[in-house]
Structure 1
């Protein structure tokens, strides 16, 4: 059948099983939106308040499901408004296809109205990108974009289509999407054997679970592996839920705001097994002093990550789930009671603590965990609230913490929350934000109310940029440069003005009723919780220090 380019785009999206797209229309992409209008019963379009919100919503949709998220934008500023969202997805290996339209081919390179080389702009932050100037290449390119986004280590792909291509016509031939195979061709028997030998020889192993374990769908294999080798487990921010936070072997998160138990345990271990983790600086602290007593075994799908940030003693390259399945079959059952017992003593000695007398971020998050029985999906912005969400909500399953780790994007969470809720309509989905982050993209509350998407937005309002202020307090002699937000913004009224329910919480006893009401209302709700400006995230590792130099408020007082 003969179709125009815009209709081919829609048919290709349907081929790929796309049921929802997020975007914002404009002149050059109007033909695609016209075609989308005709297929609105097959593909749902969510009009966000800003293109960045569309990118983050597509990202949240993808992270919470494992499917490819799709966002649309017009040329020029529409396309550039996607850039932060694309970079966020790139840093955290999220499968995303961003479709933009550009000016017609004769107008390219002439500084035409709303023209920009978006392929050039996004080259460093995409897994691959394309500009389609010939309709004959359109269907093949879109199919290739979805394949690239999902295969191996996932990531975002941009497809820029000139406006004349969206209007041109040609014969369209349907195709069945190529099956995405797990990456197993690089798994070497010699690497498996070396890993088994290291594990069998180890007296004090420690497992570090990263985002690759979540992406691979390896939670079951990780759990079996940990219990089979009888090893304590820590995780990265991206690895949350791949190993249950309620498991007896779990020690908390590793790194700058990780638990002392995890940081000290990794420093003491004789074998660190990194599963789908890239050794970010926030995890390792001073890389030269990281796990210096241990041999390191790294398991990762991307060979470029091996020896990139930390030199390792052994590695296995390939899909994490497949590798662990092979190891679990061949590894003998171990019993390391003395080592595990020592780590459990550290857990008892160094629990996470906060002031129980006043309303705090950790208290709100613990209450949320208790009320939802740990079964909600949590999205976050970036800052203190993000770290508290990682520390105090116990993630039992993968894809239940949706957060920007690599790029650390303030303004990410609300859009991601909308995308996550659309993908998971039967789950409670809560975005946790600080007041600074919430201000950045709070206009997306209007998106939630427009479509009656029943998300819960918790704003931990300390009237400051909390994480930056924490650094200013500890390392800049309390010079609070540009971090005080002590103004008259009323988030409850703002929520109500956009059609949501607004609830203000100022005391501990108001937290539970507010959360239960928000769940029961089945509509967008903003809960503003007013907390102290000087609450801090503990423990903490100073920048550039070894993770064993982790300190908390008690340590700080003792030093003084």
Structure 2
């Protein structure tokens, strides 16, 4: 006989899932009993987070790294509500997750049971309804298998995201026959849709004689990025990425004009403008505030736009586009490449830029800061140096705040004249932008692949919210380098208030030695106040050994991050 918890784990195991992230409690105990049995036979293992929000962030990072579904769980009541922020963050970024929350026993609904979160208590089902692709209550054991498979199908669909099963204690504990697990039943995972041939041909015809065009790669272009780069090389077109897709193009590629949108580069703004681009071919981008530079009409959002995506949620925002194509962008890229090769024109000679170690698209005062070596550490110089000395396969995550502003603008992906792997190694949780996301997500990412180092860049404000998850990284011996930008403030808030003419209030943090905090957790740690001190660290050796390490970096808090796009949007309401 199996319990319902064992049945859930059997299906997860078949899908390749290795971990369930969460915090135990009374109402979720049967699932943890099943996890204990699973661990004993070498199956799926429980990872103990320090807070349920951290568990959801870990599941998010695990899903991003593996391409599988991330799984997190929580007990009834506050356990479930603590998950919400992490689940909402995954929903906004289309990250597939299975979220399992407990309920008290059915026969105690409406009686004020301990941590009751049923329809007659603090209704957690209602709370999850707006941040999941599928949200269901399992009221009978006979429903579980069908609803579980439905949930997988929604999570991994063309519009992926979190799904939620709410399961009462007595239902989870219910015993079922071994035969209830059927190896023949499986979720429907959508195949890639081939775009309409007539629509694709119209795109090919439209682009045939276009001399100036810009290809903008979004977060869902990972599978076809190599083809679009080849097309740009053949046609002599510009390459640009959205903030989420920064890692899909080598920072030193000769036609890379940088990031367009939130914390992006002026050269990218020019590259998508009407003077430099007769057409803007955008692949797999959300067309939200972040990727459109605050919905700028001179950027992506014009009749010059050709928008390709397999996610219909992206395309509904392309109401102004000359062409909107639903389906696998690879098939469109293949036809455009074939048409370009038929012309017989030689590809232009290309030479990588950034001979001084900084890509040409980084300009002005931001560029000057990349070479500053004396005085307080400039975030520009820190990002430039770390991205150069970290191994090429390093997974880099940047937290909400100044961390992702500096990361988007200054973290360099790849090396001159070297191809990237077909994976986005640059990660931000920017749709919902929850502070502390990168801390938990870095743990999930490190557990997903222990053969590569993970670097998490976070601010002191985010670290004070979620830094306790470093204890989980230590317990699991994760290869995570935690980089804390320590300026004793909520930096993005402070600079935003100054730039927007707001009152300077509630942005100061106490002066804290985060190295000592990490040392108390038994974590290797270094407090760094100058670049010379950072240069003396053997980061290659640190990143090559197992276990986490924390760098407490005293950064120059007076450096204003690239947040002009965000300020423009905020000031539009004045």
TM-score by length of 1: 0.90
- CA shift at 1:280, angstroms? 1.5
Aligned counterparts of 2:496 and 2:183: Cα–Cα separation in 1: 54
Which residue of structure 1 aligns with residue 225 of structure 2?
A: 219
Q: 1:428 aligns with which of 453, 473, 481?
A: 453
SS of 1:425 mapped into structure 2: coil
CA contact (8 A) 1:93 1:153 kept: yes
- CA shift at 1:484, angstroms? 1.3
CA contact (8 A) 2:264 2:408 kept: no
Q: 2:304 aligns with which of 295, 318, 321?
A: 295
Q: 2:200 aligns with which of 192, 204, 213?
A: 192
- CA shift at 1:440, angstroms? 0.9
Which residue of structure 1 aligns with residue 282 of structure 2?
A: 274
Structure 2 CA distance for partners of 1:75 and 1:166, relative to 1, 3 Å? same
Q: 2:151 aligns with which of 123, 131, 145?
A: 145
Is 1:447–2:455 an aligned residue pair? no
Structure 2 CA distance for partners of 1:520 and 1:65, relative to 1, 3 Å? closer
Is 1:205–2:213 an aligned residue pair? yes
Which residue of structure 2 aligns with residue 369 of structure 1?
A: 387
Is 1:383–2:401 an aligned residue pair? yes
- CA shift at 1:488, angstroms? 3.6
CA contact (8 A) 1:384 1:536 kept: no
Structure 2 CA distance for partners of 1:363 and 1:288, relative to 1, 3 Å? closer
TM-score by length of 2: 0.88
CA contact (8 A) 2:243 2:261 kept: no
Aligned counterparts of 2:290 and 2:475: Cα–Cα separation in 1: 38
- CA shift at 1:192, angstroms? 0.2
- CA shift at 1:288, angstroms? 5.6
Structure 2 CA distance for partners of 1:113 and 1:261, relative to 1, 3 Å? same
Which residue of structure 1 aligns with residue 34 of structure 2?
A: 35
CA contact (8 A) 1:57 1:420 kept: yes
Matches within 5 A, 1:50-199: 50-116=51-117, 117-171=123-177, 172-176=180-184, 177-178=186-187, 180-184=189-193, 187-199=195-207
Which residue of structure 2 aligns with residue 499 of structure 1?
A: 522
- CA shift at 1:45, angstroms? 1.3
Aligned counterparts of 1:129 and 1:76: Cα–Cα separation in 2: 16
Aligned counterparts of 1:405 and 1:383: Cα–Cα separation in 2: 10
CA contact (8 A) 2:288 2:295 kept: no
CA contact (8 A) 2:214 2:237 kept: yes
Aligned counterparts of 1:138 and 1:348: Cα–Cα separation in 2: 53
SS of 2:28 mapped into structure 1: helix
Which residue of structure 2 aligns with residue 319 of structure 1?
A: 328
Structure 2 CA distance for partners of 1:327 and 1:107, relative to 1, 3 Å? farther
Q: 1:456 aligns with which of 467, 475, 481?
A: 481
Q: 2:435 aligns with which of 397, 410, 414?
A: 410
Runs of 4+ aligned residues of structure 1 deviating over 4 Å after TM superposition are: 330-338, 346-349
Structure 2: gaps of 5 or more residues: 118-122, 414-419
Greater Cα shift, 503-512 or 114-123 = 114-123
Q: 2:426 aligns with which of 379, 401, 411?
A: 401
Aligned counterparts of 1:424 and 1:349: Cα–Cα separation in 2: 32
How many residues were matched structurally?
538
Q: CA RMSD in A?
A: 2.7
- CA shift at 1:373, angstroms? 4.3
Matches within 5 A, 1:449-488: 449-476=474-501, 479-485=503-509, 487-488=510-511
Cα deviations by residue, 1:211-233 (Å, 9 ceiling, x for unpaired): 1113xx22323323332333111
Which residue of structure 2 aligns with residue 522 of structure 1?
A: 546
